[in-house]
Amino acid sequence: MRERVLYRYSECFKREVMESLESGRCVSVRAAQLHFGVKGADTIGRWLKRLGRQDLKTRVVRVEKPDEADRMRELQKQIAKLERALGQTQAENLLNAELLKTACRRLGEDVEGFKKKNAGAPSAGLPKPMEGKPT
């Protein structure tokens, strides 16, 4: 089994990392992490939070045109609608599978055998596929 290693950094080391961020020698937390060889991805971020220096963390500002934001909301609504439809379809499929099992049990037939026998038969209530090319 692999031995687990915990890294503990001294206060002096942490101060040096903070100073490099404050002075601009390291332009980002990620740059400081790579420069000083700090292992954890969130380690320096935790130090900044504990010391109340969130201002040194890089902030992401998203700039977008108004129609982009509207389009995003539209797409998010469409995704939600499709997820609901998918959930409904999955529920219907589960219900249909249980109904098929019940019907086959009542008929005294095996579900797989029934499926094989009726594989080419058109589904009840659905229109038959058109033959040839549509005009």
Mean pLDDT of all residues belonging to the chain? 84
- Give the per-residue pLDDT at 28: 86
Residue 37 banded pLDDT, cuts 50, 70, 90: very high
Q: What is the mean pLDDT of residues 59-86?
A: 87
**Residue 132, pLDDT score:** 57
Q: What is the largest CA-CA distance in the chain?
A: 82
CB burial string 82-116: b at 16+ within 10 A, e below = eeeeeeeeeeeeeeeeeeeeeebeeeeeeeeeeee
pTM check: above 0.75? no
Per-residue confidence (pLDDT) for residue 58, from 0 to 100:
67
Statement: residue 110 has pLDDT above 60: yes
* Higher per-residue pLDDT: 15 or 92: 92
Q: What percent of the chain has pLDDT over 70?
A: 87
Identify the pLDDT of residue 2: 82
